[in-house]
Structures are given as structure tokens and as C-alpha cells.
Amino acid sequence: MPLELGVLVSGNGSNLQAILDACMRGTLDARVSCVISNRTQAFALERASRAHVPALAIPHQGFESRETFDRALIAALRQHGAEWIVMAGFMRVITPELLRAFPGRIINIHPSLLPAFPGVAAPRQALAYGVKVTGCTVHFVDEGVDSGPIIAQRAVPVLDGDDEASLSARIHEAEHELFVSVLQEIATGKILPASPANPPRLA
């Protein structure tokens, strides 16, 4: 049985596209069971619809608290049979309720070599700092911002003359490969849900 993925998005969805394409090609033994965006206008929803995947907009503004918003996410994810939750450009901090609903089975991708440059605009932060190497990180999600146990990282060079757009594009390419390869390792059982008894290995 393919791994059932619930993908959370807020924007363009190029990582979602990489996952959908890999599922279609058969290089990823998974199925995207639903895509949920907190932003109605996210292009990622269009990508999901084109792939005939349920695309749900659940705007966070309609909820009185982070918990009630997360409860709506949990209900939708369960309804669609999601087993692992993939945050692919999802610009919300999640609550312990969502973490408890899918224990050790929520992952995120971030465009830096964490713990460097957490939060927003990581490529811009990398350029401002002047690092010569940055990259991307896939990690288990915890209650912090970009702070859970690291699963895998990929280094990306910062080139002379890079601006935010050129560096972001290079990081995105690395993200697409890294995310799919981590998900395939989850699908094949090489990466197990995070737990105190099962600390993630570094890929």
C-alpha cells in the first residue's frame, strides 16, 4: 500500500509538485491523499486540482485560535486518510494538538542548513550574513519554529553575484530532490516516526 500523505501548503507549491510528479512517475511509493492550504489563493491548490488530488482551502482567519484551526486540519487530514503530514511551504506554526494527532509523523522542509537561518526569508538571511554555503533541511516538526530533529540536509553553494531570486531557485532545486528522497525512505520504512526511543538518523 502506498504511503498516504497529507500535504500542508501556503503558496506556490513547487515542492508539492515535485512530490506529485514523483508519485506519478512511480519513483515515490506514496499517494497525496489531500492538499490543504491556509491561503485560498495559493497556487499549490491549483497544482493539486490538476493532479486530481482533493484540494482544500481552510483559511486560518476564520478560526478563533490556533487550536481550533488545527482541529479543522486534523479532521480534514483524517477524513482523507493521511498517515504522514508533509509541510511544504506551510506558513503556520502548529500546535501540540496537531503534533499529538500524528505523533512523530509530521515533517517540514526549510531553505537553509538548520539551525542556521530559521524563520522567514532564509535565503535572504544567508546572503545578508555572507555565508558561502547554505542549503535545505528536512526535519521532524516540534512545537518550535524550524526546530525539530533533523532528518536530512543538502548543501547548496552561494555564488558570486547571487541575489535572493537566484539563490532561492538553486535551493528549491535541491529541496525537490531531498524532499522526495526522504519521503521515499519513509515509504520504505528506512525512516521511522520520530520518538524518544527512535531518534532520527542523519542521512
Residues lying near ligand GRF in the complex (CB under 6 A): 11-16, 88-89, 109-111, 172, 175
Which one of the listed residues 60, 80, 110, 176 is annotated catalytic? 110
Closest approach, Cβ 11 to ligand GRF, in A, equals 4
Nearer to ligand GRF, 66 or 172 (CB): 172
Nearer to ligand GRF, 15 or 33 (CB): 15
Residue number with the smallest Cβ distance to ligand GRF: 89
Nearer to ligand GRF, 164 or 185 (CB): 164
Per the annotation, the verdict on 110 as an active-site residue is yes
Q: Of 175, 196, 193, which is closest to residue 185 (Cα–Cα)?
A: 193
Closest approach, Cβ 197 to ligand GRF, in A, equals 28
Q: Is 147 exposed, middle or buried (0-12, 13-18, 19+ CB in 10 A)?
A: middle
Q: Of 38, 42, 17, which is closest to residue 92 (Cα–Cα)?
A: 38
Closest approach, Cβ 124 to ligand GRF, in A, equals 12
Please give, one letter per residue, the 3-state secondary structure of 20-71. HHHHHHCCCCEEEEEEEECCCCCHHHHHHHHCCCCEEECCHHHCCCHHHHHH
